[in-house]
Amino acid sequence: MLKQRFPDRRIVAYPDPTGSARKTSAAGETDHGIIRRYGFSCISPKHPWAVKDKINSTNWMIRTADAQIRLFIHPRCKHTIKALKNVTYKEGAEDYVIDKTAGIEHWTDGLGYLILGAFNQVKPWKTGGTGWRVY
């Protein structure tokens, strides 16, 4: 549908790195491969971002320390707005542990991957390898 609505545009997906794993449910094809097969570019780190990096980068886009607003959410994006208002940390947990009981954290997680991929305010984890995969 996106390709039909915007045929002359380059559309980029910023998925999490787990989509590059081959799954038997996808007949040996990766999620990233499926995205590319439909004509989208796929930019993903080789290793997951730290949860605190996704949270801090998202907060930085919403409002910087000097009160600049860099992220605007359209009012029709109800699920994203709901997630930004309601996703919380697990009470009593050390570090950044997201409470997933409401089932709405996927919206903020995806937004975090977009922000880190497109605006790259922090470096991806260095756990060996070369860093980024751009298809």
Residues 40 and 87 in one domain: no
Same domain, yes or no, for 57 and 110? yes
Average confidence (pLDDT) over 15-27: 72
Tens digit of pLDDT for each residue in 122-134?
Answer: 655 444 455 555 5
Same domain, 95 and 109: yes
Domain end (from 27, 45, 63): 45
Average pLDDT, rounded, for the chain: 83
Residue 132 domain flag: no
**Residues 27 and 119: beta-carbon distance below 8 Å:** no
- Residues comprising the chain, all counted: 135
Question: For 82-99, what is the mean pLDDT?
Answer: 87
In this structure, the answer to whether residues 118 and 57 fall within a common structural domain is yes
Per the structure, the complete domain to which residue 13 belongs is given by 2-45
